[in-house]
Chain A
Amino acid sequence: MARPAVHPSSADTTERNPGGVRWRTVDIVVTAVLGVAFGVVFWAWNLVGEAASTPLDFFPPIKGLLNGVYLMPGVVAGLLVRKPGAAVFASTLAAAVSLLLGSPYGGIIVVYGLVQGLGGELGFLLTRYRSFGWGTAILAAVTAGLSTATLDITLYYAEVAFGLNVAYAVFTVLSSVLLAGVVGLLLVRALARTGALSSFAAGRQRV
């Protein structure tokens, strides 16, 4: 077979390295698209959450179960784009978009988005952005869940008894593992099967 005489375009050497740090435009835009899409989901979930949390008032820590949705963009973006910072970028943007659409939490939600993204990022950092299978997905979901539970307890439930707060953290992490970790990875794999991720390593190989 003939050797290619023309070296095709956009042949950034860093692209060949899955952990490459350089962000291509498509990485940025698709991460941002995830952020925006989940921002719309947040907006809807905020409304559902208000309604759903009222019957849960008998045992408030169980409300931690509602938190998993907020941890999805960070973990999903990390698994999909596989670049350092993807989780933080998507998560923060999702929060900012839900603010644009009208958020019950106001500007503070952006801080939440940032912290939750950093939490997810920690999971990917611990696996050094090298593997993006079940282990990493669950780990990132756990670290993301812990981050938001810690923030919630510090900011809002400082007066609440310690045991209840531990229960709250456990429920949050459970929900994060289920939604951000398990559903998140399944989502990325389902997206890959549609061919929509052909520009990404996540869309080219089966993990």
Chain B
Amino acid sequence: MLNYLISGISLGSVYAIIALGYTMVYGIAKMLNFAHGDIIMVGGYAAFCAGTYLGWPVPLAILFSMMICTILGIVIEKLAYKPLRNATSLAVLITAIGVSYLLQNLALLIWTSNPKAFPNMVNFIPSIVLGKNSDNPITISSATIVTIAASIIIMVALTLFTGKTKMGKAMRAVSEDKGAAQLMGINVNATISVTFAIGSGLAAIAGVLLCSAYPTLMPTTGSMPGIKAFTAAVLGGIGSIPGAMLGGILLGILEKFAQAYISTQLSDAIVFAALIVVLLVKPTGLLGKKMTEKV
């Protein structure tokens, strides 16, 4: 029982990191970047290549992966989304799905469909064993500890960034009213680029953590966690940073419990059913806020 809870929180923390990326981009640029999951995959491959092929040390490999993803995110935004800044959201959404397939197929060309065995990159702290002398001791792996810690640090950092810094406040201003933000002297395009850079950098971290926990790396590795994390972001209230965190963790726990107690095959269906129920009861998500507007 406790074991499932811990592995649920661990998985949920990965979802949370991905969902934070989704929610940042949605919150500021008001678009769903469906290619986000595939940036995770690219992040995984980048770290894999740096660590395994080039033999770089782990921190360097992770930094390299973040750098690649950040650049990739900025380039995707410039080439694919920026020309659609004033287009309907449907056009942007379809473009994002197109970018997602493009990344997957590029990965297929470069790295083939053979799964790569991803090394555990986050075993630099010892795992904790609870209740060593009892009948069924509980092991918390180093990956779990690092993942949970990383998600909390990232959430706090993002909250502080958007709440306290000038750039963060400017991002919130852009998200509400691009025209008025420009009148303040805020460079809207640059602000959106920074948002994508942050979201994609987070995707790289998520990629390394995800692949360390589930070590088969394939071109489609990112898509399912991407969709789940999107679900998590919506569940928690898209655009809300604590919402993404809460949604991610709840979703991870729900998935692990469904796998353990109901059915492994049905676990995904149960997760998505939970989303439907929450949206029926609270359409803005758990922590989503209603727009207060005075005319």
Q: Do A and B come from one complex?
A: no
B residues near A, CB below 8 A? Answer: none
